[in-house]
Amino acid sequence: QSASKTLDKYAQFVPKSGVFPKGYEVASLASGVKKSGAVDLGIIRNVNKSQKSSAAAVFTTNRFKAAPVLFSKKVLETGSGEGVDAIVVNSGCANSVTGELGMQDAGKVANQVNRLIGRSDGTLLMSTGVIGQRLQLDKISKGIDTIFQEQKFSADFDGWLNLAKSICTTDTFPKLITSKFKLSDGTEYTLTGMSKGAGMICPNMA
Amino acid sequence: TLLGFIVTDLPIETTALQTMLSGAVNRSFNCISVDGDMSTNDTICMLANGAINATKIDENSEDFAKVSAQVTEFAKQLAQLVVRDGEGATKFVTVNVKNSAKFKDAKIIAETISNSMLVKSALYGQDANWGRILCAIGYSKLDNLASLDESKINVSFIATDTSTPRELKLVSNGVPQFDIDEARASEILSLPDLEILVDLGTGSEECQFWTCDLSHEYVTINGDYRS
């Protein structure tokens, strides 16, 4: 019965094609953190060099903010929202309620990507999954190296859909929407969005 | 945990981007609930890399409002997909609280209804137990009663397909409708999408909130989540 529901939702809400903004590349893989072997690590990177990117974010107002939330807030404050060129997402482990060690683990993940994209303070982090357990850094670090060394980045639909899958936990389908729009002078631009969430959902972000 | 991001190739100035995103989130991701629990990791971010050749958008730009509206619409769609995928969810419910003296009160009331275990259980059982909706409204943690006047409140179930009558009045100007058409109520509640309309009759502010029902499967999933 639940399978039939999953089938309906997947067919009903998951797109079969998409349009994607210029200057972004995405990659994802199964690092081994998820016991099921499903994709659990993803990176979106900005490869446009014509100008510095702008970034903005809203975060949980829960008092016990997870390490990736505290780390990303600091990156945005340090750079006043300018020059963010990568977002790393991992699922299966939330790196939450992990104290100073969790912050160190978050820093190691971000700094590894910063080195690989040639930036300092250019990477935001997002984690989701079990609370109270530390990141399996060996698996995540190896996964990041594999993504860059094997040039797993792409800009096609499958790449974006797999990135949407890499952030899922108890979700039954990836959530991805894309669309092209026009400015008043006719210039065409693209918005692409993705989200995840199925439980522990009553956000009040700021 | 709710995670998400929106990316665009537009050039947008950083403070304008933050204003755009915060406004969008307050009308979308901050208006959803599956189970009333706020995660330690919730994060929504937006990137604008300026890869297309256009004038950088700031809060005074002609296109700021238009792009903001599109980002808000995007955020609503992404937020609603999360609710549709709520753990064990079988129903997608829009709680529409309108004609309120204050937006804040409309949101508190909509969120309280959306987080009521008893309302969500009744929706799962397709039971038109509208007394629980009134009860939730009654214990909403409002600062004062400026927006809530018992003699002016109207509560209805709204059919989300093309069947008629579209609206099933449950409370009319504070008076409970004891002779409601239970067969029609069951028809409306059997649909996968449902709207609960609360008209406070005290102003013109409104809040749309999205939630889902509470099913046995939710408990099954979360009874042994760490495994």
- In tens, the pLDDT along A117-149 reads 999 999 999 999 999 999 999 999 999 999 999
Contact A62 B77 (CB under 8 A): no
What confidence tier does A3 reach under pLDDT thresholds 50, 70, 90?
very low
B65 touching chain A per CB within 8 A: no
Q: Which ranges of B1-155 does DSSP label H, i.e. alpha helix?
A: 14-26, 64-84, 103-114, 117-124, 131-138
What is the C-alpha to C-alpha distance for residues A99 and A97, in angstroms, rounded to an integer?
A: 6
Contact in structure between B64 and B57 (CB atoms under 8 Å):
yes
Task: Kindly tell me the burial class for residue B31, based on how many C-beta atoms sit within 10 Å of its own C-beta (0-12, 13-18, 19 or more).
Answer: buried
Would an 8 Å CB–CB cutoff place B33 in contact with chain A? yes
Shortest CB distance from B41 goes to which of A13, A24, A69? A69
- Chain A within 8 Å of B117 (Cβ-Cβ)? no
CA distance B112 to chain A (A): 11
Question: Measured between CB atoms, does A146 come within 8 Å of chain B?
Answer: no
Low-confidence residues of chain B: pLDDT under 50: none
- B6 touches A: beta carbon within 8 Å: yes
Q: What is the pLDDT of residues A154-190, one digit of tens each?
A: 999 999 999 999 999 999 999 999 999 999 999 999 9
CA distance, residue A169 to nearest chain B CA (Å): 9
- Check if B90 is active-site: no
* Distance between A70 CA and the closest CA of chain B, angstroms: 9
pLDDT at A150: 98
Mutate to test the interface with A, among B9, B46, B213 (most CBs of A within 10 A): B9
Confidence at residue B227, expressed as pLDDT on a 0 to 100 scale? 62
B44 vs A contacts (CB less than 8 Å): 57-58, 195, 205
Query: Which amino acid is located at A35 in the chain?
Result: K
> Is the interface score ipTM higher than 0.90?
yes
User: Which residues of chain A lie closer than 8 angstroms to B111, CB-CB?
Assistant: 202
Q: Cis link prior to B165 (omega < 30° from 0)?
A: yes
Q: Is the pLDDT of residue A58 over 70?
A: yes
pLDDT of residue A7: 52
Q: Which of A64, A68, A177 sits opposite B74 (nearest CB)?
A: A177
* B81: chain A residues, CB-CB within 8 Å: 13, 175, 177, 195
For the segment A21-35, the average pLDDT, to the nearest whole number, is 97
Q: Which residues of A touch B87 (CB under 8 A)?
A: 170, 198-199
Nearest-angstrom CA–CA distance, A74 and B195: 40
Q: Could you say which of B1, B14, B40, B164 is catalytic?
A: B1
pLDDT of residue B225: 76
CA-nearest residue to A2 within chain B is B88
Q: Does A180 touch chain B (CB under 8 A)?
A: no
pLDDT digits (tens, 9 = 90+) for B147-205: 999 999 999 999 999 999 999 999 999 999 999 999 999 999 999 999 999 999 999 99
Yes or no, beta carbons of B42 and A59 under 8 Å apart: yes
Q: Do B22 and A56 touch (CB under 8 A)?
A: yes
Whether A97 has a pLDDT exceeding 80, the answer reads yes
Asked if A201 and B82 come within 8 Å (Cβ–Cβ), the reply is yes
pLDDT score of A5 more than 70: no
Residue A1 reports pLDDT greater than 70: no
Q: Quick check: A193 and B25 CB within 8 A?
A: no
**What does the pLDDT read at residue A8?**
81
Exposure string (b/e) for B100-114, b if CB count within 10 Å is 16 or more?
bbbbebbbbbbbbbb
Contacts of residue B102, Cβ cutoff 8 Å, sequence gap at least 6: B146, B147, B203, B205
**How many degrees, rounded to 5, is the angle at CA A69 between CA A169 and CA A79?**
130
Q: Please give the Cα distance from B182 to B115 (Å, whole number).
A: 24
What does the pLDDT read at residue A2? 47
Judge whether A178 is closer than 8 Å to chain B, CB to CB.
Answer: no
Nearest-by-Cβ selection for A202 from B38, B43, B90:
B38
